[in-house]
């Protein structure tokens, strides 16, 4: 049961979806939410630009002032938005245990966001991140730090909406340790769900290579949630990820659980292909573990 949930905030409107998911989790699990805003180090960034000779020879003071002003605005916006969200949701401010949950706190650091996310994330039970920032593109540095550098499960919020804890949990199953780790991390969600569906994509029609692991998983998960079943998805000529996304929509799933694959720090290995397509296109929260 997650009791300490970390939420990185950028100070932009794109934070809203992740905030909504974190609030729902805090209420559902009676958890403590830790909002983390990492302020850019304007002086260091400016020094790097100047040393790279990127047209920064003049006007350094004015440029630094603008960068500091922007950092101030983002930090202020991040904290004020978080405090307002928590006040409306009835979350009490608490920096030490003892206050009945759900509770919250706001932490500000200065430096590289991915570095501080990794540092604070290792002490959390669960990390909630949004899929988009200002550019509307996945923040791969942040995703990589959350998933690869913390050893903690990561819940990726959808672009809009929140999370339904008493709905349908979908598991994208593959017979690997990464998928098994994701299922273990999802047990608190599985226990609360109305139903659980283990989806596996057919990989071979050869009888002697039939994968029996989905049914083994179903039998085990029924000890946590009796309403657990499985579906074998046949992709034929279509991409497996498209077949999975269609099945999620058809079954009105509320949460997808999947492993984060790859054994190197290369984001193309971790977030390439199937995984990246899911993160970009799935309309529901995705819980991942590596």
- What's the residue count for the chain? 290
Please tell me the pTM assigned to this model: 0.87
> What is residue 53's three-state secondary structure?
coil
Closest CA to 215 of 229, 201, 205: 229
The structure tokens 């979806």 sit at 17
Q: pLDDT tens digit string along 54-67?
A: 555 556 677 777 77
Where is pLDDT greater, at 62 or 18?
A: 18
Q: Closest by alpha carbon to 189, among 289, 101, 99?
A: 289
Tell me what pLDDT residue 15 has.
Answer: 86
- Given this model, what pLDDT does residue 131 score? 77
Q: pLDDT tens-digit profile of 195-238?
A: 999 999 876 555 556 788 999 999 999 999 999 999 999 877 78
Angle in degrees, CA 201, 205, 210, rounded to 5: 70
Q: What percent of the chain has pLDDT over 70?
A: 82
Confidence check: pLDDT of 266 > 50: no
Ordered by where they begin, the domains of the chain are 4-156 (3.40.50.620), 168-289 (3.40.50.620)
Query: What's the confidence (pLDDT) of residue 54?
Result: 54
């Amino acid at each position: 049961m997650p009791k300490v949930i970390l939420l990185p905030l950028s100070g932009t409107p794109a934070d809203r979806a992740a905030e909504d998911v974190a609030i729902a989790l805090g209420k559902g699990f009676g958890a403590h939410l830790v909002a983390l805003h990492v302020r850019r180090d304007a002086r260091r960034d400016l020094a790097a630009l100047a040393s790279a000779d990127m047209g920064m020879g003049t006007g350094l003071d004015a440029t630094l002032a603008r960068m500091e002003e922007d950092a101030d605005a983002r930090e202020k916006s991040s904290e004020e938005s978080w405090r307002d969200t928590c006040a409306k949701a009835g979350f009490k401010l608490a920096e030490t245990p003892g206050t009945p949950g759900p509770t919250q706190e706001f932490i500000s650091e200065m430096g590289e966001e991915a570095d501080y996310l990794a540092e604070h994330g290792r002490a959390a039970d669960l990390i909630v991140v949004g899929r988009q920032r200002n550019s509307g593109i996945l923040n791969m540095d942040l995703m990589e730090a959350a998933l690869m550098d913390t050893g903690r499960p990561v819940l990726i919020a959808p672009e809009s909406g929140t999370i339904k804890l008493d709905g349908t949990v979908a598991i994208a199953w593959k017979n690997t340790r990464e998928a098994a780790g994701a299922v273990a991390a999802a047990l608190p969600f599985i226990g609360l769900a109305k139903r659980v569906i283990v989806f596996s994509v057919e990989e071979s029609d050869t009888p002697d290579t039939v994968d029996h692991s989905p049914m083994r998983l179903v039998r085990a998960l029924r000890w946590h949630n009796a309403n657990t079943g499985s579906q074998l998805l046949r992709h034929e000529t279509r991409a497996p990820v498209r077949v999975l996304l269609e099945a999620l929509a058809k079954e009105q799933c509320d949460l997808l659980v999947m492993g984060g694959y790859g054994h190197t720090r290369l984001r193309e290995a971790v977030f390439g292909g199937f995984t990246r397509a899911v993160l970009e296109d799935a309309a529901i929260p995705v819980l991942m573990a590596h």
